[in-house]
Amino acid sequence: MTDDLSPIERAKCVAARRSCDFVESGMRVGLGSGSTAEWMVRRLGERVRDEGLDFVGVPTSNRTAKLAREVGIRVSTLDEVKWLDITIDGADEFDGAFNLIKGGGGAALHEKIVATASDRMVVIADAAKDVKALGAFPLPVEIIPFGWETTRALVEELLGDMDVLGREAELRMRGEEPFVSDEGNYFLDLRLHRIGNPRQLSLMLNQIPGVVENGLFIGICDTVVVGFGNGKVEVRKLDAGTAGEAAPEGGAVRNIFADSGE
């Protein structure tokens, strides 16, 4: 199936398909957004059709919800299911502590709400997303449209006191108009190059009036499924090294909201 894919798409595909092994009938599953998550949703749809897998999916974006329904997944909302067994989602970057940058596709707010309402979060990514320090990928910050230029100025002022290498906050555009999230908000993409203290930066950004949420996921993910261009897959668990093709296991998620200190 993956023979006709580019190495990067093959890596995404094999990681996404492997992550679906974590899903069992009866589960409530958060369904992430983005190109890698789309592979996961399609594979889960195959399992629903071919194996009779019966679970409820909670999508993190309108696009994911549409695809999930198309492939036969039973879709609900977080308000209806209250809590999730697992969330599977992609990432723009992840480091050795499984801190993440997410939101390149514009769904970080929904993704973070769903992930923190889950017993565990599994991230699926190609090997290029594995970094020593976060920050090469622009950090998304969702802001309300009202007074957005003032919000940007406050964000850039804050960055002057943070352990980062860059301080540019650029409004995300779609053509001639600002990019708008599913919640009707704008995005600032922060070009930081390196983030020395992701937890501190996340907490400080969210103190700024006008900021809704940022794309740093700290202490939320406990498992990363990494795909490679040659079709190899690694399952990495926090504090447990690399599990290769080992079967999925349970595990509690360390949540940023359980420990707000630096």
**H or E segment to which residue 189 belongs:** strand 186-191
Alpha-helix runs per DSSP H in the chain: 7-19, 35-51, 62-70, 78-81, 108-116, 148-159, 198-205
Instruction: Output the pLDDT for position 16.
Output: 98
> Has residue 184 been placed in a domain?
yes
At 99, which CATH number? 3.40.50.1360
Residues 72 and 189 in one domain: no
Among the listed residues 220, 236, 261, the one whose alpha carbon sits nearest the alpha carbon of residue 117 = 220
Q: What pLDDT is attached to residue 257?
A: 38
pLDDT at 254: 40
Position 256 in a domain: no
Using alpha carbons, select from 193, 201, 202, 216 the residue that is nearest to residue 136: 193
Catalytic residue positions, numbered: 111
Flag whether 105 is in a domain.
yes
Query: Do residues 73 and 162 share a domain?
Result: no
Number of domains the chain contains: 2
How confident is the model at residue 239, as a pLDDT? 76
Say if residues 219 and 212 touch (Cβ distance below 8 Å): no
Same domain, 146 and 65: no
pLDDT of residue 250: 35
Which phi and psi angles does 38 have, rounded to 5°? -65, -40
In this structure, the answer to whether residues 149 and 43 fall within a common structural domain is no
Q: Which residues contact 156 (CB under 8 A, 6 or more apart)?
A: 167, 168, 169
Instruction: Say which residue the tokens 């940007």 belong to.
Output: 152
Determine, yes or no, domain membership for 241: no
Contacts of 153 (CB under 8 A, 6+ apart): none
* pLDDT tens across the length of the chain (262 residues): 677 999 999 999 999 999 999 999 999 999 999 999 999 999 999 999 999 999 999 999 999 999 999 999 999 999 999 999 999 999 999 999 999 999 999 999 999 999 999 999 999 999 999 999 999 999 999 999 999 999 999 999 999 999 999 999 999 999 999 999 999 999 999 999 999 999 999 999 999 999 999 999 999 999 999 999 999 999 999 876 655 553 333 333 344 333 433 3
Range of the domain at 121: 7-131+219-233
Q: Kindly report the CA angle at 7 between 218 and 193, in degrees rounded to 5?
A: 40
**Within this chain, do residues 86 and 161 fall inside the same structural domain, yes or no?**
no
Residue whose C-alpha is closest to residue 19's, from 1, 44, 2: 44
Distance CA 12, CA 126 (A): 5
Same domain, 229 and 161: no
- 116 domain-assigned: yes
Whether 11 and 99 share a structural domain: yes
Q: What is the DSSP annotation of 24-51? A: -TT-EEEE--SHHHHHHHHHHHHHHHHH
